[in-house]
Amino acid sequence: MKTGRWLIAAGVADLFFLYLPIAILIVFSFNASKLSARWQGFSLQWYAKLFTNQALLAATLNSLAIAVLSTVLAGLLGVLTAVALERRPFRGQAAFEACLLLPIVIPEIMMGVAMLLFFVMIKLPLSLVTMTIAHTVFNFPVVALIVRARLRKLDPRLEEAARDLGATPWIAFKRVTLPLLMPGIVGALLMAFTLSLDDFIISFFTAGVGSTTLPIKVYGMLKSAVTPEVNALSAILVLVSMALVAAATWVQRK
């Protein structure tokens, strides 16, 4: 079956919707004005300033480090959870499933406060480590939810067949189920990474000295002004990510 023409049109319209503000943001990163209110002429000054702004760059690195690390951890825990819930039912599973939703349902600020009180109580100094823990905790149920939705539509008999042919449970999982789960896992990890990268309030409460992330830094600018350096940084992040993904796709094709 071919994908309907109207479907493709709707998909393209969605992408246009997603990229419209990004285009605006990139245009304003070249605006001479300090406020993104009016076009005041072309300028590269925000890019020049960005590269001398140590604090902003350091915050970006912190954000990326936490996002990558918490995504990996959330990915491992999330996939494990999904597999356990779907393939190894256990007593009390319904209660556990309900609890698993709590980190998604909890209001962000209460989660931030709860984490802060917890880390202070166990005397774990606030740092990139505590932030990574917090991000992992709110991300792994999200991964589990998405991966499980995928797993539910997979026929468990595929894996059982592999077992019958003599594969160990781990080999059967790795060779049969995992590849089939991949689209779900990729989607879930992308989502976890994004949630972590853009989180402000939970990060703020769990951040220690010297672990300011990009969203924390930008919220701190509200009193002075969110400068177009942030636009420039965002533009670079978008363009670099796109170039990397395009390159990866191209390499795979060969």
Q: Where in 92-131 is the site for other proteins (CB under 8 A)? A: 93, 96-111, 113-118, 120-121, 125-126
* Residue 91 is a binding residue for other proteins (CB under 8 A): yes
Tell me: does residue 57 bind other proteins (CB under 8 A). Answer: no
- For helices 128-151 and 178-198, the axis angle rounded to 10 degrees is 140
SS (H, E, C) 161-188: HHHHCCCCHHHHHHHHHHHHHHHHHHHH
Please report, as residue ranges, which positions from 17 to 46 form the binding site for other proteins (by CB under 8 A).
Answer: 17-22, 24-25, 28, 33-38, 40
75 binds other proteins (CB under 8 A): no
Paired residues of 31 in beta bridges: 42
Q: Is residue 5 close enough to count as binding other proteins by CB under 8 A? A: no
Minimum CB distance to other proteins smaller for 44 or for 156: 156
Measured at the CA of 61, the angle between CA 60 and CA 62, to 5 degrees, comes to 90
CB of 31 to other proteins, least distance (A): 11
42, β-bridge pairs: 31
Query: In the bound complex, what is the minimum distance in angstroms from residue 229's beta carbon to other proteins?
Result: 10
Contact in structure between 140 and 77 (CB atoms under 8 Å): yes
Q: What is the DSSP string of 46-75?
A: HHHHHHH-HHHHHHHHHHHHHHHHHHHHHH
Binding mask of the shown chain, residues 189 to 218, with x at each position contacting other proteins by CB under 8 A: -xx--x--xx-x---xx-xxxxxx-xxxxx
Q: Of these, 68, 128, 154, 167, which contacts other proteins (CB under 8 A)?
A: 154
Q: How far is the CB of 165 from other proteins (least distance, A)?
A: 19
CA distance 147 to 80: 10
For other proteins, which residue of 50, 66, 69, 83 counts as binding (CB under 8 A)? 83
Q: Which residue has the tokens 């990474």?
A: 193
